[in-house]
Amino acid sequence: MTLDLFSDIDAAEREEIIALRKELEEANYKYYVLNMPTLSDRAFDEKMRRLQDLEKAHPELADKNSPTQHVGSDLAVSSKQSAVSGKGFEQVVHRYPMLSLANSYSLEEIQDWLRKLPSDVEIVCELKFDGLSISLWYENGLLTKAVTRGDGQKGDNVIENIRTIEAIPQRLEGVPAHFEMRGEVLLPWSNFERLNKEREEQEEPLFANPRNAASGTLKLLDSQEVKRRGLTCYLYYMLGEELPGETHFERLETARKWGFPISDAVKVCKSLDEVNAYISYWDTERKNLPVATDGIVLKVNNLRQQEELGYTAKTPRWAIAYKFPAERQLTRLKQITYQVGRTGVITPVANLEPIQLSGTVVQRATLHNEDFIRSLDLREGDMVWVEKGGEIIPKITGKGEGAKGERLEAKGKQVPFSFITTCPECGTPLVRVEGEAAWRCPNESGCKPQIVGKIEHFVSRKAMNIDGLGAETIELFYANGLLHTIADIYDLRKDDIALLERLGDKSAENILAGIEASKQVPWSRVLFALGIRMVGETTAKKIAKRFASIDALKAASKEELMGIDDVGEQIAENIVAYLQDERNLEIIRRLGEAGVQLKGENGAWKVESDKLAGKTIVISGTFAQHSRDEYKDMIEVHGGKNSGSVSKKTSFILAGENMGPEKRKKAEELGVPLMSEEEFLDLLF
């Protein structure tokens, strides 16, 4: 006889608890680590409250690992690497737990929260900035650490990236010996728009909102790129021993005098009416702010009362957040049109009846791809919901429907949607690669948007950085038959340029000077400039480090390419296909003849020994003494080859902690041996 511990629990509720825990953990990971949220804040909170209710009803199913018992974690995977390696972030244990806030979505919920507080309570209202939480540690007046929230108990020390934010003081005088300032790291709207414009030009995935962009930026290992992106910060809480002031507001004013960036919107409220007035004012006025906000934070002002009220497992009882509703409007989808990108991707676009959203007129919104349109069953003439909220990019979130699900005020014949089958620019039949959502025009050398887009990408600042060749000039050169490929740039002549409309001798000289200067651009940026699908700036740098010339890259196998961090199977296949196309090889030949750098300054890898000669090695997991990149370098300089996938050709797997289960399973099936970090280092040294 077996004892069923759950015999008295409704099976459906037990399954719901399990499903909710899994869904919320995945949502936390995608939000905090991948910066790719899949649930709205409200949907997440509703599911969390449902799980809390179920767990309260069934305490026998309590689990300390449940998402109801801890905050989401933004700890970087790289932080598990040793600080000795010089890569990744040091993990630091918080002196005081760094918790999240309970969220509310109505004034009634705020009123309920206030009723539970002491009758003489004062409330400090603040804007809820939408960024990444940070804790700044000061020791004897010096900024010594900058720690992300992480999992609430420990976080990543991103001090070098924080030092790029001019608003944050590095050195102070006349302050307590030890204290922390907590706040939010933000990317201003203007910098967010600039960054997304750059990514759009390079056909890289756009950041959904400034919060995602700020989070991704703060975790970069290149502090110079962090500085270029232009983060800012607002601080909202002081922690430590023997600090001045008996109220939260007094401490914020003190921090302001010390030079910390404190928002001017902080206000002490003494009644529910004052709180409501504050929320009402900022629900409108926040749209004029230079940074993103998504609500209001309410805190008990008196610090002694804060201490008496205490904390739950995840949140302080003395504070709560009110979240603004996402701004959305119902409008008509007039027409679906299509755009062609530089890599041939066809993007459907919704042309809408104009509406006002977050202070701007919205007439167009992306429809992403065919699958997205079909998932919503969208048709021209439908009424659709368009949302902006914390997102600067308008998006369609649903169809306007009547009470019975019928199409709301539909116009026209309501013809079922059918994706186009030929390119809207050149008429070439479209193709769809298996496993991809996008349709693509394969006519790379004869489709104008692809031709012009590739040239614009090639001359862009992060690529060849050729001054004078802007979008309009490239269009002009294309129309006059001067440019058809990127190699044609190096055949331009002064007389051809000077005779064109709006140009002259001086403009021609400036353009040619920029072209000449581009011949000194290093190999890694040239590789990025070639515009190989999915090879972004960072990936190009890693590839150029591994393969020090175009000839070495042409000789590389798909498996060798997959041995590079960030290079998966699809990217490797794209590189191989690009370098097997005779048209591309001819362009590369012409670039080389023109003097463009097609190899690195240091030439090929310097081999230190042949201890790994003839061996193909796969790296999996995390390591204590060196980073994955450093181990890949060791393999190369000792004569071995890196591979990203396990096969019969694999000599062994360098296995760290948390080795991928699929790689382990494949190794067992093929009899591929595993080697520990210590064994590998003993082999080499």
pLDDT band at 82 (very low <50, low <70, confident <90, very high): very low
Mean pLDDT of 98-106: 86
Residue 15 has pLDDT above 90, yes or no: no
How far apart CA 551 and CA 629 sit, in angstroms, is 23
The whole-number pLDDT of residue 642 equals 83
CATH number of 448-520: 1.10.150.20
Encode pLDDT of 410-450 as tens digits. 655 567 889 999 999 999 999 987 767 789 999 988 999 99
pLDDT at 212: 84
Q: How far apart are CA 456 and CA 473, in angstroms?
A: 10
> DSSP per residue over 16-76, as a string?
HHHHHHHHHHHHHHHHHTS----S-HHHHHHHHHHHHHHHHH-GGG--TTSGGGS------
Predicted local distance difference test score (pLDDT) of residue 35: 52
Q: How far apart are the first and last CA of the chain?
A: 58
Chain CA centroid to CA 600, Å: 30
Dist. CA 162–CA 180, nearest whole Å: 14
Pairing between β-strand 616-620 and β-strand 641-643 as defined by DSSP bridges: parallel
Alpha-carbon distance 483 to 478, whole Å? 5
Q: Catalytic annotation on 128?
A: yes
pLDDT at 6: 41
pTM above 0.75, yes or no: no
Closest residue by Cα to residue 168 from 186, 189, 192: 186
CA 305 to chain CA mean position, Å: 39
Report the pLDDT averaged over residues 145-155: 89
Q: Is the pLDDT of residue 238 over 80?
A: yes
Average pLDDT over residues 140-158: 91
Determine the 3-state secondary structure of 102 from DSSP.
coil
What integer best gives the mean pLDDT of the chain? 85
**How confident is the model over 357-376, as pLDDT tens digits?**
765 678 988 888 888 898 88
User: How is the chain split into domains, by residue range?
Assistant: 11-69, 78-323, 326-442, 448-520, 605-685
User: Can you name the CATH fold of 326-442?
Assistant: OB fold (Dihydrolipoamide Acetyltransferase, E2P) (2.40.50)
Q: Tokens 């990217």 appear where? A: 571
Q: What is the mean pLDDT of residues 190-208?
A: 77
pLDDT at 594: 95
Who has greater pLDDT, 139 or 435?
139
In the block, tokens 């991707």 appear at 345
Q: What is residue 454's predicted lDDT score, i.e. its pLDDT? A: 94
* pLDDT at residue 463, as a whole number: 92
The fold of 605-685 is Rossmann fold (3.40.50)
What tokens were used for 302?
């008196």
Q: Which residues contact 116 (CB under 8 A, 6 or more apart)?
A: none
Residue 179: per-residue pLDDT: 96
Q: Choose the CATH number for 11-69 among 2.20.25.90, 1.10.287.610, 1.10.150.530, 2.160.20.60.
A: 1.10.287.610
Between 392 and 667, name the one with better pLDDT: 667
Please tell me the predicted confidence (pLDDT) of residue 32: 60
605 pLDDT band, cuts 50/70/90, is very low
Phi and psi angles of residue 126, each rounded to the nearest 5 degrees, phi first: -135, 155
Nearest Cα neighbor of 617 from 683, 551, 554, 570 is 683
For 610-619, how does the pLDDT look when each residue is reduced to its tens digit (9 = 90+)?
A: 889 889 999 8
Over residues 50-65, the pLDDT tens digits come to 887 888 777 777 777 7
How wide is the angle at C-alpha 35 spanned by C-alphas 30 and 37, nearest 5°? 55
pLDDT value for 296: 95
CA angle 140/169/179 to nearest 5° reads: 40
Would you state the pLDDT for residue 481?
A: 93
pLDDT band at 585 (very low <50, low <70, confident <90, very high): very high
**Mean pLDDT on 19-39:** 68
Look at the chain and count its residues.
Answer: 685
The H-assigned helical ranges of 260-322 are 272-285, 303-309
CA distance 210 to 214: 6
Higher pLDDT, 484 or 640: 484
Q: How far apart are CA 145 and CA 137, in angstroms?
A: 5
Query: Residue 611: what are its φ and ψ, rounded to 5°?
Result: -65, -25
Model confidence at 83, pLDDT cuts 50, 70, 90, reads very low
Mean pLDDT of 20-45: 68
The CATH code for residues 78-323 is 3.30.470.30
CA distance 620 to 663: 8
Per-residue pLDDT for 402 more than 60? no
- Considering only residues 626 and 10, tell me which one the structure prediction assigns the higher pLDDT: 626
Query: For residues 379 and 410, what is the distance between their CA atoms, to the nearest angstrom?
Result: 9
Report residue 603's pLDDT band, with 50, 70 and 90 as the boundaries: very low
Q: What is the mean pLDDT of residues 475-487?
A: 94
pLDDT over threshold 60, residue 86: no
Q: Report d(CA 376, CA 620) in Å as an integer.
A: 40
Q: What is the C-alpha separation between 63 and 72, in angstroms, rounded?
A: 16
Q: Rounded to whole angstroms, how far apart are CA atoms 502 and 211?
A: 42
Q: Which residue in the list 80, 128, 395, 663 is annotated as catalytic?
A: 128
**Rounded mean pLDDT of 477-481?**
93
Q: What pLDDT does residue 449 have?
A: 94
- With a pLDDT cut of 70, the percent of the chain lying above it is 88
Kind plus residue range of the DSSP H or E element containing 268:
strand 267-269
Judge whether residue 80 has pLDDT over 60.
no
- pLDDT grade for 223, boundaries at 50, 70 and 90: confident
Tens-place pLDDT, residues 335-360: 999 999 888 999 999 999 998 776 56
Tokens 């591309």 belong to residue: 584
Give, as one character, the DSSP assignment of residue 519: G
Is the pLDDT score of 77 beyond 50? no
